[in-house]
Amino acid sequence: MMIRYAAADHGDSYLRSVLRGAFPRVAVNDNVGSIGDDRMLREALRHFAAHGLGAADAARSRAESAFFAGDRNEYRWWLGICRMLDRRMADAVAARQEAANHG
């Protein structure tokens, strides 16, 4: 019995795309400007060192407290730290606060 094998064709191969120059010259996982400055990164790492795996939840709690106290700068700060530790959690907090502003 004869067995025939034909590999799946996934379109252009990576090598052909590179040779054509279809890929950008910068890293696609480079989050320049979206994560925040070095100061916030250092503070997020300190916060994580102090709170361990509950650090994102603690930052979320502080962001929510600042929001309801009306301290917008403190809210943005803690939301940024929460975002560095757990982006989904921070996005959920921001969505709830946005709904509270418009609701």
Q: Could you count the other beta carbons within 10 Å of the beta carbon of residue 94?
A: 17
The answer as to whether 74 is a domain residue is: yes
Structural domain includes residue 63: yes
The DSSP secondary-structure symbol of 64 reads H
Report the distance separating Cα 88 and Cα 15, nearest Å.
35
pLDDT of residue 20: 63
Burial class (CB within 10 angstroms; exposed 0-12, middle 13-18, buried 19+) of 36: middle
pTM: predicted TM-score of the whole model, two decimal places: 0.63
User: How many distinct structural domains can be found in the chain?
Assistant: 1
Q: What is the rounded distance in angstroms from the CA atom of residue 16 to the CA atom of residue 52?
A: 45
- Burial label for 5, CB within 10 Å (0-12, 13-18, 19+), is exposed
Predicted local distance difference test score (pLDDT) of residue 1? 72
Asked, for residue 30, whether it belongs to a domain, the answer is no
pLDDT by residue, tens only, the chain of 103 residues: 777 776 665 555 655 665 666 655 665 555 555 555 788 999 999 999 999 999 999 999 999 999 999 999 999 999 999 999 999 999 999 888 888 777 6
Domain that holds residue 45: 35-102
Identify whether 11 is part of a domain: no
41 within domain boundaries:
yes
Helices (H), 1-103: 14-20, 38-51, 55-69, 72-85, 87-102
Is the residue at 52 inside a domain?
A: yes
Q: Tell whether 19 is covered by a domain.
A: no
Any domain includes 4: no
